[in-house]
């Protein structure tokens, strides 16, 4: 199963906190909500695309945020949640499962109308065609927007790679490998492609004396790269007495080519899709702009005891 949208966490959080009127640590509430929603261990391990937090904890946090905005819950101290008197009264008045209308009211009535409008636009791509406007939390919308921008740029980079000259493509590949940390300096990566290159387009010296080297083949193939081409590159490595080789293409590899590379271990294959992603990650031909996302610093507001 997939992790439910944040509005689905509202009720289990309400019920758990009502059973603990003195409050409970947020981590306990997270787990209780996950248990109530029957999340699997795999669900609990799923991370946001940014990799900074499990998805279920993020959505539980946004559900509690909505309860706080509605005046039903509070955070009397950092990492600790507790229902307010209004929250306890609300649960007592609604002992049975909340209706969809009640959940929607809690999820949206105390948020800025502009956020609700953004949710209406983003929710279908985040949670499926049947998702309502409340289904996507602000973090969901942000992550999806970034993912969409990344997919668009990756496609643009991929198309640009298919248009550049073979010589410049080889240079791009070496620039990328340098940005990834191969070679102490750009001078340690040399383009050697040309007639009689034996299938080798570039050489990376991993140490100052050039005792350890990685050989590179960078080709703008249009057709799928098969096992014979990978075997030929492997043979070129043997001719150079090389231990490591990277074969990079704007195309893709057949299953047989991938199996052969795994069997010989010292050859790494990079297809066009992965190449575009690596260029984004390491800002080769791509510019990343920072996005400042505000988050309150709870420690700042903690007053020292007298």
Same domain, 141 and 178: no
- Indicate which CATH number applies to the domain containing 135: 1.10.10
84 within some domain? yes
Same domain, 172 and 233: yes
290 within some domain? no
Same domain, 237 and 123: no
Domain that holds residue 61: 6-150
Same domain, 181 and 132: no
* Residue pLDDT, tens place only, 204-221: 777 666 667 888 998 888
282 within some domain? no
Same domain, 145 and 213: no
Q: In what order do the strands lie in the sheet with 202-205?
A: 189-191, 202-205, 213-219, 245-249, 267-270
Which pLDDT score, from 0 to 100, does residue 97 have? 93
Among 89-98, 146-155, 253-262, 270-279, the minimum mean pLDDT is found in: 146-155
Mean pLDDT of 54-72: 92
Mean pLDDT of 283-299: 82
Same domain, 130 and 18: yes
Which pLDDT score, from 0 to 100, does residue 298 have? 67
Same domain, 45 and 130: yes
301 within some domain? no
For the chain, strand residue ranges (E) read 24-25, 73-77, 80-83, 189-191, 202-205, 213-219, 245-249, 267-270
**Better-scored residue on pLDDT, 126 or 76:** 76
Which pLDDT score, from 0 to 100, does residue 207 have? 64
Long-range contacts of 282-285, Cβ-Cβ distance < 8 Å, separation of 24 or more: 282/176, 282/179, 282/180, 283/179, 284/172, 284/175, 284/176, 284/179, 285/157, 285/160, 285/172
Among 69-83, 167-181, 202-216, the minimum mean pLDDT is found in: 202-216
CA 113 to chain centre: 28
Same domain, 62 and 194: no
286 within some domain? no
CB burial class (10 A; 0-12, 13-18, 19+) of residue 36? middle
Same domain, 12 and 145: yes
* Residue pLDDT, tens place only, 90-108: 999 999 999 999 998 898 8
Of 292, 244, 286, give the one whose Cα is nearest residue 269. Answer: 244
Which pLDDT score, from 0 to 100, does residue 203 have? 83
207 within some domain? yes
289 within some domain? no
Mean pLDDT of 286-291: 86
**pLDDT level of residue 306 (50, 70, 90 thresholds):** very low
Same domain, 112 and 197: no
Same domain, 105 and 240: no
Mean pLDDT, all residues of the chain: 82
Number of domains in the chain: 2
Mean pLDDT of 242-257: 90
**Would you say the pTM of this structure is higher than 0.75?**
no
Count of residues making up the chain: 306
CB burial class (10 A; 0-12, 13-18, 19+) of residue 281? middle
108 within some domain? yes
Same domain, 174 and 144: no
């Amino acid at each position: 199963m997939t992790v439910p949208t944040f509005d689905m966490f509202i009720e289990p959080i309400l019920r758990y906190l009502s059973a603990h009127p003195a409050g409970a640590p947020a981590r306990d509430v997270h787990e209780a909500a996950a248990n109530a929603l029957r999340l699997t261990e795999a669900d609990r391990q799923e991370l946001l695309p940014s990799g900074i937090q499990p998805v279920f904890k993020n959505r539980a946090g946004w559900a509690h945020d909505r309860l706080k905005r509605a005046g039903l819950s509070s955070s009397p101290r950092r990492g600790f949640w507790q229902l307010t008197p209004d929250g306890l009264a609300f649960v007592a008045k609604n002992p049975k499962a909340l209706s969809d209308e009640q959940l929607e009211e809690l999820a949206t009535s105390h948020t800025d109308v502009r956020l609700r409008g953004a949710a209406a636009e983003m929710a279908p791509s985040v949670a499926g065609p049947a998702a309502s406007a409340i289904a996507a939390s602000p973090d969901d919308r942000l992550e999806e927007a970034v993912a969409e921008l990344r997919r668009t740029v990756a496609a643009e980079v991929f198309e640009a790679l298919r248009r550049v000259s073979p010589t410049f493509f080889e240079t791009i590949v070496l620039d990328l490998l340098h940005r990834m940390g191969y070679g102490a300096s750009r001078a340690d990566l040399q383009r050697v492609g040309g007639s009689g290159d034996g299938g080798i387009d570039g050489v990376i010296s991993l140490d100052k004396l050039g005792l350890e080297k990685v050989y590179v083949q960078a080709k703008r193939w249009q057709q799928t790269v098969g096992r014979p081409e990978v075997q030929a590159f492997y043979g070129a490595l043997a001719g150079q007495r090389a231990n490591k080789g990277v074969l990079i293409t704007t195309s893709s590899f057949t299953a047989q080519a991938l199996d052969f590379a795994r069997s010989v271990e010292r050859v790494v294959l990079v297809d066009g899709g992965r190449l575009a992603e690596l260029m984004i990650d390491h800002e080769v031909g791509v510019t990343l702009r920072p996005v400042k996302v505000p988050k309150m610093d709870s420690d700042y507001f903690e007053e020292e005891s007298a």
